[in-house]
Structure 1
Amino acid sequence: MEVRGAFSSNDGKRHRELTPLRLIRGVVCLLVLLSTAFMTLVYCGFVSAVVLRLFSIHYSRKVTSFFFGTWLALWPFLFEKINKTKVMFSGETVPARERVLLIANHRTEVDWMYLWDLASRKGCLGCIKYVLKSSLMKLPVFGWGFHILEFISVERKWEVDESNMHQMLSSFKDPRDPLWLALFPEGTDYSEQKCSRSQKYAAEHSLPILNNVLLPKTKGFYACLEDLRGSLDAVYDMTIGYKPRCPSLLDNVFGVNPSEVHVHVRRIALADIPTSEEEVSAWLMNTFQLKDQLLSDFYSQRHFPRQGTEGDLSTLKCLVNFVAIMMLISTFTFFTFFSSIWFKIYVSLVCCYLSSATYFNVRPKPLQ
């Protein structure tokens, strides 16, 4: 436990103080992200993921990926350009636009957001999907987005989740559809208390004692791997570390933490991963042992090996994307509030549809 170091603790000092300017800027950024998310869902998401899906799932996903990839690019823009957080990649340089299963350690509630920074560099922002706990689907507005982007919601009880996972995974097998499916095998974010429970369980069952990660759960990973094995290019094993401490969502929004995010990437070919469930479980456990050692080295050396595998985001591209999004959303906002009443009726009906579709987890099927 001691190897984690002071700067990895949530009790550490903030990188920057929460000044009135950062507070105001953070509130403005949050309002912009929320309002643009709402308008993108109502005007773009409904048409691409619902109407177009009636005719073609493949083209529905392509169009949805374009619109939401454009919107999701606002988050790396916020992290790297507005908040000035350094996102540093190390390990292996991975090809662009592969179909992959992605696994990562789950250190804090916002780990999944920093996967967008790599996806942005690889042209895969709009096709990233997550396995996430079902309670997040109930978030206002964002829950609708999770549903439209076809995230897999789980109760974290295999007897409940198994059939839903297999049903969703079976729809992701088309090799024409770009796919980054992200899974956090630990099942929950890290804390000292959870780590103690994990270590106690490991000692009782003769499993490795891990200090910087929790014991991984293997059934969900095995299901993803086996259902998609024939259509995947690789598995990306990603390890995330923070300086000076792990951020919360509001730390990210207000730009007070982190100063640096370090992401180590390891690409594993499918042929190098065993096929039986027992061997896959052993492989995943060994992978998390390596991840645990990698994090121990990171906390002592303050960097991962082979750093600098990816360049910085283009400021010009970020600004052009931001301006395009704001112009589009301004147009939608004008139509909604200052144009025909039919736009208000349309927005109301779409909101009702998205609320019910997300709650009941239903998607339209093609007409033929």
Structure 2
Amino acid sequence: MFSLDSKMTWKRSTLGGVLFVALACLSYLLGTMYVVTPWFPLMLVRPAWYRWVVDHLVAWYWIFLVALLEMVYGIKVRITGDSIKPGERTLLIMNHRTRLDWMFLWMYLIRRGQLSKEKIILKNELRKIPGAGWGLETACFLFITRRWEEDEKIMKKILDYLSSIGHRTQLLLFPEGTDFTERTRQRSDAYAEKNNLPKYDYVLHPRTKGFVYIAEKLIKEHNLDAIHDITVGYPNGKAQTEADLLAGRFPEEVHFHVRRHPLNTLPNTSGKLEQWCTTLWAQKELQLKEFYQRKKFPDTNVLEGGTPGDPLQELKMKVVLWLSIPFFLTVILVVPYLMVTSTYFFISAVLICAFYIAQRAVYGGAEHFQIDLYNTFHRK
């Protein structure tokens, strides 16, 4: 009979890692095909309703991953600092310690934010992940190419669309542009030496051009209530890349410290916004230095172990997490069975795949397809 420790060891092995990745990929692929895609016609009739429905269905998938990470794989979360107010339009800026920080951030948003409102600025390469890329596109995430002339147009197009339908977006941006590794740290050091700046040990020097553009655009169009500065730290192990997940190298804990900066406290010029972001990152360097010495952030408005202070809220959250597991396990087991045994499901799978492949070839991705249809038929 396995002890608790032996069970956890099994989950943190290659077998456990492969199982997690398989569940994540299959649930996202099949969920996108058969839970999200059927709602596409609503986009032609009520675009705002479509966005609401799809955002909540996508958030249901994020909840499933959080349930796996916390309840199955035993990852603990510790949150300190501020919350996101209900319905608040915010720009979330976070240090990029690993390539998977965005996934662990859902542990924060499910407790102190609004998971269904999150949009993430991602590298364009991620849209090419089989199946999962379709889901990210359908969620209307912002894929950037790192060529400013193209990225500016992409960000303007998607932010204008979200604003036009009244979406109260919580937009996640990593100003560093990439995750913290030895190679990226050396590049950051070279930049610091060239520009007479301090060298950092825990963060990379932020790339402020995109941050300033987004912040100014949101402020100018009255689509921003606050900026939330998020610092993430991993006191005991981390998953730097997807390969670490496959190998079962999950972090034991993830810590978040969040500071809310209301709109009326933000700088009002491009130069001041750039300096403000640069100063935040200098503070973040000191904050993380202390964090890795103490193995936790200062005790400010603590949510220890991810447990809400309100017992009823804690119960609701656990129920939602647990319900997501049988739902997606059912999708993973039933849909492939129906594809094999039902001609209708097999044909529908072929048509759905062809649909996503075609819209990427013609429009550049599902997010552009949605926005182009909206601009053609609904935007005034």
Q: Distance in 2 between matches of 1:18 and 1:55?
A: 51
* CA root-mean-square deviation: 2.4
The 2-side partners of 1:333 and 1:259 are apart by 33
Task: State the distance in 1 between where 2:101 and 2:251 align.
Answer: 12
| Alignment match, 2:348 | 346
Whether 1:306 and 2:296 are equivalent positions in the alignment is no
Task: Name the residue aligned to 1:40.
Answer: 31
Q: Which residue of 2 aligns with 1:80?
A: 70
Q: Which residue of 2 aligns with 1:235?
A: 227
SS of 1:73's partner is helix
Residue 280 of structure 1, aligned match among 273, 278, 281 = 273
* Match in the other structure for 1:355: 357
Q: Choose which of 313, 316, 320 in structure 2 pairs with 1:317.
A: 320
Taking the TM superposition and a 5 Å limit, the aligned residue runs for 1:288-303 are 288-303=281-296
1:258 equivalent in structure 2: 251
Is 1:233–1:270's contact at 8 Å kept on the other side of the alignment?
Answer: yes
Q: Which digits, 9 at most, give the CA deviation of each residue in 1:238-297, with x for residues without a partner? A: 101112233133444565431111111111111211122111101110111111111011
SS at match of 2:286: helix
| Secondary structure at 2:250 match in 1 | coil
Give the match's secondary structure for 2:324: helix
In structure 1, how many angstroms separate the alpha carbons of the residues matched to 2:12 and 2:230?
A: 34
Structure 2 residue identity aligned to 1:242: Y
- The one-letter amino acid of 1:220's match is G
Comparing 29-38 and 135-144, the one that deviates more: 29-38
Could you say what secondary structure the match of 1:90 adopts?
A: strand
Contact 1:100 1:180 in 2 (8 A): yes
The count of corresponding residues between Structure 1 and Structure 2 is: 351
Equivalent residue for 1:29, pick from 20, 44, 51: 20
Deviation at 1:149, TM superposition (A): 0.8
The reply on whether 1:103 has 2:105 as its aligned counterpart is: no
Contact 2:75 2:254 in 1 (8 A): yes
SS of the residue corresponding to residue 173 of structure 1 reads: helix
Q: Which whole-Å CA distance do the structure 1 matches of 2:86 and 2:244 have between them?
A: 30
CA deviations on 1:136-190 (whole Å, 9 max, x unpaired) are 1111111111111111111112133222221122112147424221110000111
SS at 2:108's partner residue? Answer: helix
Report the CA distance shift for 1:296/1:162 in structure 2 as closer, same or farther (over 3 A): same
Q: What's the counterpart of residue 336 of structure 1?
A: 339
Stretch moving more, 303-312 or 219-228: 303-312
CA contact (8 A) 1:218 1:281 kept: yes
**TM alignment of 1:200-211, pairs within 5 A:** 200-211=190-201
Is the CA contact 1:72–1:126 (under 8 Å) kept in the aligned structure 2? no
Identity %: 29
| TM score, norm. by length of structure 1 | 0.87
Matched, 1:170 2:170: no
Deviates more, 1:341-350 or 1:82-91: 341-350
- 8 Å Cα contact 2:91/2:172 also seen in 1: yes
Alpha-carbon distance change, 122 to 300 in structure 1, aligned in 2, over 3 angstroms? closer
Deviation at 1:305, TM superposition (A): 1.0
Structure 2 stretches of 5 or more lacking a match?
Answer: 1-6, 308-313
Query: Scaled by the length of structure 2, what TM-score is found?
Result: 0.85
Q: 2 CA distance for matches of 1:154 and 1:94?
A: 26
Distance 1:325 1:178, change over 3 A: farther
The question of whether the paired residues in 2 share the 8 Å contact of 1:242 and 1:260 is answered with: yes
List per-residue Cα deviations over 1:24-79 (Å, max 9, x = no partner): 3333333222222122111222223x322122221111110121111111111121
Q: Distance in 1 between matches of 2:113 and 2:231?
A: 21
1:131-170 alignment, distance < 5 Å: 131-170=121-160
Deviation for aligned residue 1:114 = 1.0
Equivalent position SS for 1:246: coil
| Contact 1:166–1:223, Cα closer than 8 Å, also in 2 | no
Which segment drifts farther, 21-30 or 210-219?
Answer: 21-30
